[in-house]
């Protein structure tokens, strides 16, 4: 890990509200026995939280998260004649990799132990396995349920693939099965004719929702009758929609259980996806679109279903606030961070509910495992809206916020004017508009390309691009639009309304005429357009009188 990545790591850890079970801040206390015990505890806890690494950091104050520096120099410390690093490594069973990084941060010495998460079995130090419970180091043997989870990981345990004892196909909803068939055929159109010949039991096996005719937990979640949820006990499959006003007061709510393949649409129907109009300075016409992209809403919700840690016995929540949707599900974000997922654009190595996720792919609920997040970001970029916000700061919970409003007009103008911006640059600009600190190197990149202004770290998106947009728009307003644009508007109006008076056409076009023309000149220009369409092009004809014309499309259209 290079210096830049180390600084980013420390910035991310310091931004968390408190220590979690997979990292620890310390100052100078460095008793070798305790360091070894912490490596065991952090490695096991990282495994439980599906983190690839754990971190033991010296030089950061625990409560304030201030960088104060450390006197601990592990690479120089010895136990007898043996280096500390080798001494600790020999005491760990099984042997796991850990790397010690010593570097300067804010001109103060900091040490980071980067520790691999336990993979095959709980990691012991001197024969004892430890684990973090909250911010405390404990013996793992005192927490058998945590130890069982680590052993389950070794066996490739998948909660969603487990069979529901006593459940038969009667536990599933017939309408949900029919919906699953429809979506399966959409996903695999070349199998559509064959699918129609399968009975329900064969179809469910082929779609990998059941296993050899036996009902899985994934089958209950996606296709189960509402009363079949008890087969998941003590876990629960619930989605709660909650409406809040601008004062964060609850206004309405609704709960939804299985079958999720049907009920996600009921959740979606609850969301008030209003039209949003935005007129950037200098533009001729407003941008008008819905607050939320319907695909993005469904994708976030489906991801919550696929990645929920159902063993934590909680609910998936959809909180609707004015101009904002908040989605939460229980369980850590397994890939670690969102930007890595976007950059790699490939499936992660570890899944919480692999069987459930694959079933959702087969039933056309999610595209391909691992690709949805990047597609959400691209869709928001195309809409010129803020990117999705992933809050990964709370242990055992992932929160995703989708904003239905413009935050910074300069951000929106820049996306409108520079449609070739790559996604990584847009992510940086999105952080700037949200006042999220970026690295000095990232700031230099944006500044070099004249995208930001201000003194680091108090920077903001440059208005220079916006000024350029305004000049271009003013030129268009002065010069006027291409003639074909006006002709197309008239034709579209007539196709929709069947006929139009001269007053109707004036109302349609007057505010779109060049600003340099006065009112009389604008009306003359409109008259000339009508004349050309009727006499020269034979696109429209008058069904009224010369004094009160009523224009309609000719047979040519």
> Does one domain contain both 10 and 145?
yes
**DSSP label of 555:** T
Instruction: Answer yes or no: is pLDDT of 147 > 90.
Output: no
Higher-confidence position of 467 and 188: 188
Classify residue 532: in a domain, yes or no. yes
Phi/psi at 234 (nearest 5 deg)?
-85, 0
Q: Based on the domain organization, do 438 and 486 belong to the same domain? A: no
Do 109 and 146 meet the contact criterion of CB atoms below 8 Å apart?
A: no
Q: Does position 295 have pLDDT exceeding 90, yes or no?
A: yes
Q: Does residue 392 have a pLDDT over 70? A: yes
Q: What pLDDT, on a 0 to 100 scale, did the predictor assign at position 312?
A: 86
Q: Please indicate, yes or no, if residue 402 is contained in any of the structural domains.
A: no
Task: Give per-residue pLDDT as tens, 8-19.
Answer: 899 888 888 777
CATH number of the domain enclosing 71? 3.30.950
The residue among 153, 173, 204 that closes a domain is 153
Q: Does the reported pTM lie above 0.75? A: no
Which DSSP helix (H) or strand (E) runs through 182?
helix 174-187
Residues 13 and 105 in one domain: yes
For the stretch 344-388, pLDDT in tens is 766 665 678 999 999 999 999 987 666 788 999 999 999 999 999
- Per the CB < 8 A criterion, the answer to whether 478 and 516 are in contact is yes
Containing structural domain, residue 447: 409-471
What's the pLDDT at 285?
54
453 shares its domain with 533? no
pLDDT at 454 over 90: no
- Name the burial class of residue 3, with classes exposed (0-12), middle (13-18) and buried (19+) by CB atoms within 10 angstroms of its CB: exposed
Cα distance between residue 380 and residue 224, in whole Å: 33
**In the listed set 120, 153, 186, which residue is the last one of a domain according to the structure?**
153
Residue listed under structure tokens 């850990």: 98
Contact of 512 with 284, CB cutoff 8 Å:
yes
- HSE at residue 92, side-chain half, CA atoms within 13 A, is 31
Question: Per mean pLDDT, which range of 101-110, 335-344, 388-397, 486-495 is the poorest?
Answer: 335-344
Q: What is the pLDDT of residue 195?
A: 96
CA distance 531 to 518: 20
**pLDDT the model gives residue 470:** 46
Q: Residue 264 falls within a domain, yes or no?
A: no
Residue 341 CA to residue 347 CA, distance in Å, equals 8
Is 416 found in the same domain as 505? no
Residue 400, both tokens: 């995703």
Contacts of 525-533 with C-beta under 8 Å, sequence gap 24+, read 526/486, 529/483, 529/486, 529/487, 529/490, 530/490, 530/502, 530/505, 533/487, 533/490
Given a cut of 80, whether residue 296 has pLDDT beyond it is: yes
Taking 70 as the threshold, does the pLDDT of residue 410 lie above it? yes
For residue 128, is it within any domain? yes
The reply to whether 505 and 538 lie within a common domain is: yes
Kindly state whether residue 54 falls inside one of the protein's structural domains. yes
Integer Cα distance of 371 and 306 in angstroms: 14
Higher per-residue pLDDT: 282 or 178: 178
Q: What's the domain count of the chain?
A: 3
- Do 16 and 148 belong to one domain? yes
Closest CA to 54 of 92, 20, 88, 14: 20
Q: Please check whether residue 272 lies inside any domain of the structure.
A: no
300: which residues sit within 8 A by CB, 6+ positions away?
Answer: 325, 327, 376, 388, 400, 402
Residue 475 has pLDDT above 50, yes or no: no
Q: Under DSSP, is residue 293 helix (H, G, I), strand (E, B) or coil? A: coil
Residue 464 has pLDDT above 90, yes or no: no
The dihedrals phi and psi of 68, each to the nearest 5 degrees, come to -115, -10
Q: Is residue 379 part of a domain?
A: no
- Using DSSP's 3-state secondary structure scheme, residue 516 falls into coil
Question: Final residue of a domain: which of 153, 178, 205?
Answer: 153
Residue with tokens 């008239």: 490
- Domain of 540, CATH number, reads 1.10.10
* pLDDT tops 80 at residue 153: no
pLDDT band at 474 (very low <50, low <70, confident <90, very high): very low
Q: Are residues 430 and 486 in the same domain?
A: no
Per-residue H/E/C for 462-509? CCHHHHHHHHHHHHHHHHCCCHHHHHHHHHHHHHHHCCEEHHHHHHHH
pLDDT at 211 over 90: yes
Domain check: are 13 and 37 in the same one?
Answer: yes
75 and 149 assigned to the same domain: yes
Q: How high is the mean pLDDT of the chain?
A: 88
Provide CB contacts within 8 A for 143, sequence distance 6+.
Answer: 131, 133
Pairwise CA distance, residues 503 & 486, whole Å: 15
pLDDT in tens, 26-66: 998 889 999 999 999 999 999 888 788 999 999 999 888 99
Instruction: Looking at the structure, tell me whether residues 420 and 498 fall in a common domain.
Output: no
pLDDT at position 180 is 98
On whether both 418 and 549 belong to a single domain, the answer is: no
pLDDT of residue 469: 46
**Is 378 among the domain residues?**
no
Phi then psi dihedrals of residue 472, to 5 deg? -65, -45
Cβ-Cβ contacts under 8 Å for 234 (sequence gap 6 or more): 313
């Amino acid at each position: 890990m290079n210096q830049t990545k180390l600084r980013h790591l420390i910035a991310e850890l310091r931004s968390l509200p408190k220590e979690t079970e997979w990292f620890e801040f310390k100052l100078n206390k460095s008793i070798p026995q305790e360091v070894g015990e912490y490596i065991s505890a952090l490695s096991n806890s990282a495994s439980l939280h599906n983190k690839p690494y754990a971190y033991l950091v010296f030089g950061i104050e625990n409560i304030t998260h201030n960088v104060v520096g450390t006197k601990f120099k592990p690479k120089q410390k010895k136990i007898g004649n043996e280096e500390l690093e080798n001494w600790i490594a020999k005491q760990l069973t099984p042997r796991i990799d850990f790397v010690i990084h010593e570097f300067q941060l804010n001109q103060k010495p900091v040490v980071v132990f980067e520790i691999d998460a336990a993979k095959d079995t709980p990691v012991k130090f001197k024969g004892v396995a430890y684990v973090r419970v909250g911010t405390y180091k404990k013996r793992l043997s005192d927490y058998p349920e945590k130890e069982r989870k680590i052993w389950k990981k070794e066996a490739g345990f998948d909660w969603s693939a487990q069979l529901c004892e006593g459940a038969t196909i009667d536990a599933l909803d017939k309408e949900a099965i029919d919906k699953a068939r429809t979506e399966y055929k959409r996903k695999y159109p070349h199998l559509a004719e064959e699918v129609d010949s399968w009975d329900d039991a064969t179809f469910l096996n082929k779609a990998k929702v059941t296993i050899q005719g036996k009902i899985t937990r994934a089958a209950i979640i996606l296709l189960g009758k509402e009363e079949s949820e008890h087969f998941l006990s003590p876990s629960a499959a619930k989605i709660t929609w909650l409406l809040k006003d601008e004062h964060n007061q609850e206004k309405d709510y609704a709960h939804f259980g299985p079958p999720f393949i049907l009920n996600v649409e009921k959740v979606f129907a609850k969301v008030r996806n209003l039209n949003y109009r935005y007129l950037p300075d200098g533009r001729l016409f407003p941008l008008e679109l819905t607050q939320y992209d319907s695909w993005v809403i469904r994708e976030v919700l489906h991801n919550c279903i696929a990645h929920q840690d159902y063993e934590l016995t909680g609910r998936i929540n959809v909180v609707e606030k004015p101009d904002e949707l908040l989605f939460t599900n229980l369980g850590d974000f397994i890939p670690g961070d969102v930007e890595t997922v976007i950059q790699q654009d490939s499936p992660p190595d570890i899944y919480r509910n692999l069987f459930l996720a694959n079933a959702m792919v087969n039933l056309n609920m999610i595209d391909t495992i691992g690709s949805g997040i990047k597609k959400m970001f691209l869709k928001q970029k195309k809409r010129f809206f803020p990117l999705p916000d992933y809050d990964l700061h709370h242990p055992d919970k992932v929160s995703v916020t989708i904003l239905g409003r413009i935050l910074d007009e300069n951000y929106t103008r820049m996306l409108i004017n520079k449609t070739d911006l790559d996604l990584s640059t847009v992510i940086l600009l999105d952080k700037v508009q949200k006042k999220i600190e970026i690295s000095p190197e990232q700031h230099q990149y944006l500044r070099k390309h004249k995208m930001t202004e201000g003194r680091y770290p108090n920077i903001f998106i440059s208005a220079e691009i916006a000024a350029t947009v305004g000049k271009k728009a003013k030129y268009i307003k002065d010069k006027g639009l291409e003639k074909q644009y006006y002709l197309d508007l008239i034709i579209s109006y007539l196709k929709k309304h069947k006929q139009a008076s001269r007053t109707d056409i004036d109302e349609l076009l007057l505010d779109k005429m060049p600003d340099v023309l006065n009112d009389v000149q604008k009306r003359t220009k409109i008259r000339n357009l009508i004349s050309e369409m009727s006499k020269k092009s034979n696109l429209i004809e008058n069904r009224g009188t010369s004094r009160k014309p009523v224009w309609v499309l000719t047979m040519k259209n």
